[in-house]
Chains A and B, each alone.
Chain A
Amino acid sequence: EVQLVQSGAEVKKPGESLKISCKGSGYSFTSYWIGWVRQMPGKGLEWMGIIYPGDSDTRYSPSFQGQVTISADKSISTAYLQWSSLKASDTAMYYCARQAARGNWFDPWGQGTLVTVSS
């Protein structure tokens, strides 16, 4: 079974750093793009960026370029989303999702990681 399992909820203070993870299983991790999606409380889905673990090719939405870093460690089939200095406005649910091998849709999705940033 193809699965993406994300790391657990985080509570952080403004200015702190954070790295959340998304571990893929049941398929060849290096052969599929992995995307990250933000959902702020009570709001819609926002596409943040995408990475190809095979060669770490990464693309960002202009809204998130410079605000976050997407990376992957193919040796442990895990993609990451990280912040160097969190803000209260980063409070949101973050989802990872696998792009289809020869298509432009996302399936499956991870269960989501809730990030809360509060002083």
Chain B
Amino acid sequence: QSALTQPRSVSGSPGQSVTISCTGTSSDVGGYNYVSWYQQHPGKAPKLMIYDVSKRPSGVPDRFSGSKSGNTASLTISGLQAEDEADYYCCSYAGSYTPYVFGTGTKVTVL
């Protein structure tokens, strides 16, 4: 079971949009609509931002959105804000035997 592949870093100016990809296989991302995304600020615990590919928990700003096509899921941050600067991780369900796998993580920098 290999980690899902994410870009190491993405950046954008305030107000711009950035998209983070998360590529897996048909055994994880492509096989289930169970991709979640987590935001992690330095020294803090991860925070759920998106679940079930595209659903937002209450309290998460609607500038965060998720989607999936085939074996690749994506997180888009629209209207980038300074507080969005953090690390982001995708996570996919991968079956009942070894249920989960995380992505490699992406650092989002707000220029």
Contact = CB atoms under 8 A, between A and B. Distances in A.
Interface string A42-60: 0011110010000000011
Given A105-B36, A109-B46, A59 B51 contact: no
Interface residues of A, number: 24
Nearest to A38: B102
Interface in B1-26: 1, 3
B100 A35 contact: yes
B18 to A, nearest CB: 18
Contacts, number: 73
Contacts of B3: 44, 46
B45 A105 contact: no
A104 B46 CA distance: 16
A95 B57 contact: no
Given A62-B1, A104-B34, A105-B36, A47 B51 contact: no
Contacts of A46: 3, 102
A107 interface: yes
A103 B51 contact: yes
Interface string B32-63: 10101010100001111001100001000000
A84 interface: no
A118 interface: no
Contact of A105 (B1, B91, B102, B105): B91
Contacts of A100: 51
Contact of B48 (A45, A62, A107): A107
Closest 8 CB pairs of A and B: A105-B51, A44-B105, A105-B36, A104-B34, A107-B48, A104-B93, A109-B45, A47-B100
